[in-house]
Chain A
Amino acid sequence: MASTDKYFIIAIGGTGMRILESFTHMCAMGMFDSKEINVLTLDTDQTNGNKQRAEELINLYNRIKTTPGKSGGTPNSDTFFSAKLNLYEFYTDYNNSARTKFKNITKINSADHDNKLLADLFLEDNVQEFNLAHGYRAQTHLGSYLMYHAIVEAARNLQTGKNIKAEEKEFGEFFNKIFDAGAEAKIFVFGSIFGGTGASSIPVIPKALNDAIKIRDKNMSLHKDAKFGATLLTEYFSFKKPDASQKRGKDNSVIADSSFFTLNSQAALQFYQGDPTVQKTYKKLYHIGWPIESEDFSRGKNNAKTITGGGDQKNPCHITELLCACAAFDFFNNDKGMDVEKAEYLYKSVHYKDGVLDFNFNDFIGEGDNGKLFARKFGAFVSFMHLAQTINKGADGNDGVKGLLNRFESQKIKDYSSIEEQYTQDLNRYLEYFGYNIDNHAFIPGWLYQLKSTVSGKFILDDKAYTRNVKELEKLDAGKLFSEKEYHWKTKYFGNSYDPFVTTLLDEDTKPKVEEQKVSETNEKFLAHVYNAIKKSQKI
């Protein structure tokens, strides 16, 4: 990893957004120390529930990091929330009545004989007619064409300077940053290859970005040494099959059918293996798949129809998405194989026996030092979540982070007295997204518990660390999350590890190190202080 590298993430479609959630949580754990990462959310569906959730999460992350006079804060080192994230949003405009379907956008009619024939050759009539507001509905041949068109159109609008939409302006800022980064740009694309928007966009993104930059200025182009990476994520979820009545109208004449996802994945992989443009433009492509039964997103829901998109598409997170985010970690931190002429295809396997997959901390970003790093950061953030949500009762609607701050106050440490209630509430909210909360005696799983529910075997920590039983949670020890006893925090007398942890928190040597950890503001110091105490306690 060159220290001058500039990092970019492009998250595309519903799956891309969920991977972005995992990526954001990895940033919160402190996996991307000292990095500033520019993130673009790219979707056809502005109202998509997963997109809104991912953007809300990043906005929350940035509010937690914001320091006086610096929105979104600055990169820190060896602490929680250490990466700085700059969020940009771009979506294609398919809600305008003149742009709801292929036929409207292209303005093809029978008088335009040649173009009509060409369109009919590649696209069936119902594909030309369905409503695009909820995405490309697994029609990647149409999607690639339209996504390229949307990006180029945005660049043209930016060039003319007339009627520039807010999302086009943000997109312009994002690709200007890629251009400015030149050879130091590392761009990683999140999306699936079996669905609609992500699958349509991954192959065309490098070319579309390059062409967009050229439209802004014909003398400009994407630097030849800018590096692209992406995940080749094959099918891992399914949903209710659409019935004939839902497909009756023209708008819904095409609806993605998850029973074809395996076939889609197979076709896509053949394409990625054979397409010279993809092989030339991407440096690393990470194969990620799910070899056991797909997660059924419709299970437990009483939806009469297949959800095609919109606010209702708020699917739970899956461990494959975390693995995709880990691929970004490898791409950003590992320069090996970046000088290849042809894309390198990467994969790794995990322990599998009798239909059960087990994941330990060596299965995510590598073994050895990387495995330890993952264990330390992941374990520390889960412990932090439990300290605030479980032990300080944040999950019950109390201000759990305030509970930790009150402890500093009661022990006469006044360094964090100026932290405002809005900050503690934002941090609590983030930890709810990450972990869990209790609503009306019901357990509401966040990202961590959603991931665990997709793994029937071991998921890094001891199974007891994932209990959803409220009574068991009351007794949960935030210092005994790992199965490995050597990583347990020390305990005193017959009690749990909270008392010794607070003593560690009050030690001089766990105070934030301003220079070393690059923390100068009160909120940054508070997080660094808690992180240091957890790191010292867990001994990983």
Chain B
Amino acid sequence: MKKSTILMSLFTLLSLTNVTAASKMINVRDVPALITQTYIIAIIFVLAFILIAVIISNLIKFEGGTNPKDTGKRKMWFWILAVIAPITFYLYNLFMVIPNVKKGPALSKFSMHPPIATGIVLVSFIVIGFILAKMVKSGKIGNWFPSKK
């Protein structure tokens, strides 16, 4: 619960930053800084969603029986978040960042980067997830990826 609260605060902070930014439109001179900020936010998104995936996996209890469903549930949630993370990031850029960029050279200079950063979010989420799953393979997050038979 504590972790979820921290996460919510982080999103609120990000939104406020952009609201402040929205008060004055971003021109072509500020675009390089915005591009850097976009990639940093992408990394924050990846870490935040990985954290959510870890929390959800740990909340799913080990089940008994010859055919327990808990491992499948953890795997399913990991891939759901793998899809949600880039979509959320892209929508965030689409509705919260791009409207604040001045149309013309500034927008055309910036417009390439949200899709690239979105791709990075997707790939990074999966790669970090894979590394974590292999690092703690006997733990609950080890269920994110299947093991060799």
Contact = CB atoms under 8 A, between A and B. Distances in A.
A498 B66 contact: no
A217 interface: no
A392 B143 contact: no
Interface stretch (A22-30, A164-172, A400-408, A441-449): A400-408
Contact of A398 (B66, B71, B137): B66
A397 to B, nearest CB: 10
Interface residues of A, number: 23
B66 A393 contact: yes
A400 B65 CA distance: 7
Contact of A393 (B59, B61, B65, B138): B65
A399 B65 CA distance: 8
A69 interface: no
B142 A411 contact: yes
Given A410-B71, A410-B143, A412-B147, A506 B138 contact: yes
A285 B143 CA distance: 58
B64 interface: yes
Contact of A406 (B66, B138, B143): B66
A407 B68 contact: yes
Nearest to B133: A412
A413 B61 contact: no
B71 to A, nearest CB: 5
A411 B138 contact: yes
Nearest to A396: B65
A493 B58 CA distance: 11
A115 to B, nearest CB: 67
Contacts of B143: 410-411
A399 B64 CA distance: 11
Interface in B52-88: 59, 61-62, 64-66, 68, 71
B138 A413 contact: yes
A412 B142 contact: yes
Contacts, number: 47
Given A410-B71, A410-B143, A391 B64 contact: yes
Given A412-B142, A412-B147, A506-B138, A392 B71 contact: no
A63 to B, nearest CB: 21
Contacts of B68: 403, 406-407, 410
B138 A392 contact: no
A357 interface: no
A506 B136 CA distance: 11
A307 to B, nearest CB: 39
B81 to A, nearest CB: 20
B139 interface: yes
Contact of A498 (B64, B71, B137, B147): B64
A535 B146 CA distance: 31
A495 interface: yes
Given A399-B66, A502-B62, A412 B71 contact: no
A486 interface: no
B99 to A, nearest CB: 42
B61 A398 contact: no
Contact of A499 (B62, B66, B71): B62
A493 B59 CA distance: 9
A383 to B, nearest CB: 13
A391 B139 CA distance: 20
Query: Which of B61, B64, B71, B147 has the most chain A CB within a 10 Å cutoff?
Result: B64
Nearest to B65: A393
Contacts of A387: 64
A393 B147 contact: no
A406 B65 CA distance: 9
A450 to B, nearest CB: 25
Query: Which of B62, B137, B138 has the most chain A CB within a 10 Å cutoff?
Result: B62
Contacts of A391: 64-65
Contacts of B138: 411-413, 506
Contacts of A492: 61
A498 B65 contact: no
B64 A403 contact: yes
A403 B62 contact: no
Contact of B65 (A392, A412, A495, A503): A392
Contacts of A410: 68, 71, 143
A498 B142 contact: no
A200 B142 CA distance: 63
A492 B11 CA distance: 29
A338 B86 CA distance: 78
Which 5 pairs across A and B sit closest by C-beta, in order of nearness?
A391-B64, A502-B62, A412-B137, A499-B61, A411-B138
16 contacts: A387-B64, A391-B64, A393-B64, A398-B65, A403-B64, A403-B68, A406-B68, A407-B62, A410-B68, A411-B139, A411-B143, A412-B147, A492-B61, A495-B61, A498-B62, A503-B62
Given A398-B65, A411-B138, 12 more contacts: A387-B64, A402-B66, A403-B65, A403-B68, A411-B143, A412-B138, A412-B147, A413-B138, A492-B61, A493-B59, A506-B138, A506-B139
Interface of B: 59, 61-62, 64-66, 68, 71, 137-139, 142-143, 147
